[in-house]
A and B are shown apart, each in its own frame.
Chain A
Amino acid sequence: MKESIFSPKNLKLLSGPLNLNNPITIQVLGICSALAVTVQVKPAFVMALSVTIVTAISNLIISLLRNTIPSRIRIIVQLVVIAALVIIVDQVLKAYIYDVSKKLSVFVGLIITNCIIMGRLEAFAMSQKPWPSFLDGIGNGLGYGLILVLVAFLREFFGSGKVFGFQVIPDIFYQWGYENNGLMILPPMALITIGVIIWVQRSRSRELIDKS
């Protein structure tokens, strides 16, 4: 039986990682980059986009190759595919948005070691057909990006009073004595923000709480 392209099962691959199977808040993967690039929304957004593209395409390629990869060297093959894609993404970023690329610095290269991508390849693409694998990659990339942008929004808003580099807290607030929160700029606050997001998510969906 042939499945339709957007069957409920396939749609679930897209929506699952956005909420109840989120790579950051539930699987707790990819935390390192989530802490490092979330000072402002713009780099976080670009990072999220890059990771989504790399996850989706590498999932697709590995899924196409899955029957020909000898299982003993599969990690190497996966790394080669990811590395090739990351280099392309890195070059594109350098060519078109150099300032953001500079801000992301080493973290674009570090997408290669992002656990989400390797995790999805191992857990999903190695055993699934190309189209579901592609959707799974998009879904996980978006789930990662959602948290990244949310954290970056909170940090940029409270830390520098801006969103996407535009000032959103009016000057009159500053004259009344409002001040930007310097702690939000510091890395620990990204960890605490993610922690609070996890807290909120778990208290909203009780089924996530371990029964111990």
Chain B
Amino acid sequence: MKSLRKYLDNIKPQFEKGGKLEKLHSTFEAFESFLFVSDKVTFKGSHIRDSLDLKRTMSVVIIALVPALLFGMWNIGYFHFKSIGMEAGLWACFFHGFIKILPIIAVSYITGLGIEFIFAQSRGHEVNEGFLVSGMLIPLVMPVDIPLWMVAVATAFAVVIGKEAFGGTGMNIFNPALLARAFIFFAYPGRITGDFVWISGLTGRENIVDGFTGATPLALASTGAALPSISDLFFGFVPGSIGETSKLAIIIGAIILLISGIGSWRIMLASLTGGLFMGYTFNLIGANHYMQIDAITQIAMGSFLFGVVFMATDPVTACQTNRGKYIYGFLIGMFAIMIRIFNPAYPEGTMMAILLMNTFAPLIDHYVVEANISRRLKRAVKTVKS
């Protein structure tokens, strides 16, 4: 460790102002603060409220994602062996999933971080940790059989158009991971919809045992077929995108986010209420078989919980005001169920709902603040008069 520190100190002057590698300053910075704690200190008075900086925040979210990721790996292996009619043990399933998912994660991180480095370099600011979570979320919302180049193109689109065009980390309007998924959804719809993409090795449609389909619960629901039991849905014994299957793993993640105070409980609670409200409303209407599905089952299907816990709560794209968060969350829950039921061609209503509400988040904030101002103004006028 000491020799590494020495080496970095040795080459450091080259990257500082006037050094011959000055242009690569932000790259050096990034590696230095990745390896060691940055030795930079503030010169003027600082305003520290909390020891929680961007790096900590991002690491906690990554930790919260781990249960969903690990379960996703097992789930991928489990369904792969089931589809070819083989019995496999816990580790065999897990290992198969691991081999399948690792390249997707690698591609997502390499593309995303590569672009971040280039932009930081050309703009002369430091590389920050903004992509760490997006880079992990992108693989988790993909189907396992997605071609790797598509992951790279989608990640590049999300980072360049969704983030860098707006000014980088913290300035983006849309959640980058969802943007990447939406990109694939519209650009290559055949790779992210249908019954064959969710299980590894099924796209070739060979060696499948009779009677096995890879249909997700949402696909089953839209055709009116029998749904998996609620416990299967809850524990995640159903096909789906890599990270979304197990509600249990997502709830563990949610608890980590809530205890550490990073995820907003207001948004989670409001979204859940919105989803249940819409679900029960449709239950009351009951016009078709999709509407008759119990609201609890609706919530347990698809990526509703995953989106609500990890994406709706993204502090950059969500509402900032507390009252705004309730409205924002409630509408996400409502729209997610509504899109899903009214348009079975878009089974992933959650994705659309969150992206839609991302657009409206600043507007909601604006009116919440305005309402607050006018209320306080009225009160002030009253006290002056009396």
Contacts and interface: CB of A to CB of B under 8 A. Distances in A.
A181 B149 contact: no
Q: Which of A178, A182, A186 has the most CB of B within 10 A?
A: A182
Interface stretch (B84-92, B186-194, B288-296): B186-194
A25 to B, nearest CB: 15
B187 A199 contact: no
A99 interface: no
A182 B149 contact: no
B186 A186 contact: yes
A182 B188 contact: yes
A113 to B, nearest CB: 28
Report the interface size class on chain A. Answer: 10 to 19
Interface in B150-167: 150, 153, 161, 165
A119 interface: no
B20 to A, nearest CB: 25
A131 to B, nearest CB: 42
Given A192-B161, A195-B165, A199-B165, A183 B187 contact: yes
A183 B161 contact: no
Contacts of B188: 179, 181-182
Interface string A154-195: 000000000000000000000001110111101000001001
A182 B186 contact: yes
Nearest to A188: B186
A183 B165 contact: no
B18 interface: no
B15 interface: no
B204 interface: no
Interface string B170-203: 0000000000000100111111000000000000
A195 B165 CA distance: 9
Contacts of A196: 161
B147 A177 contact: yes
B161 A182 contact: no
Contact of B189 (A177, A182, A195): A182
Report the interface size class on chain B. Answer: 10 to 19
A88 to B, nearest CB: 39
A184 B187 contact: yes
A181 B161 contact: no
Contacts of A182: 186-189
Contacts of B161: 192, 196
A111 B74 CA distance: 59
Contacts of B149: 177-178
Contacts of A178: 149
A186 B185 CA distance: 12
Q: Which of A179, A182, A183, A199 has the most CB of B within 10 A?
A: A183
Interface in B324-361: none
Contacts of B186: 182-183, 186
A182 B161 CA distance: 17
Contacts of A177: 147, 149
B187 A181 contact: yes
A85 to B, nearest CB: 38
B336 to A, nearest CB: 21
Contacts of B147: 177, 179
Q: Which of A177, A178, A181 has the most CB of B within 10 A?
A: A181
Contacts of B187: 181-184
A186 B183 CA distance: 12
Contacts of A195: 165
Interface in B100-147: 147
A181 B149 CA distance: 12
B104 to A, nearest CB: 15
A209 to B, nearest CB: 14
B187 to A, nearest CB: 4
Interface string B74-90: 00000000000000000
Nearest to B183: A183
14 contacts: A177-B147, A179-B188, A179-B190, A181-B187, A182-B186, A182-B187, A182-B189, A183-B183, A183-B186, A183-B187, A184-B187, A192-B161, A195-B165, A196-B161
Shortest beta-carbon contacts, A-B, top 7: A183-B187, A183-B186, A181-B187, A182-B187, A179-B188, A177-B147, A182-B186
Interface of B: 147, 149-150, 153, 161, 165, 183, 186-191
Interface of A: 177-179, 181-184, 186, 192, 195-196, 199
Given A181-B153, A199-B165, 10 more contacts: A178-B149, A179-B147, A179-B150, A181-B187, A182-B186, A182-B187, A182-B188, A183-B183, A183-B187, A196-B161
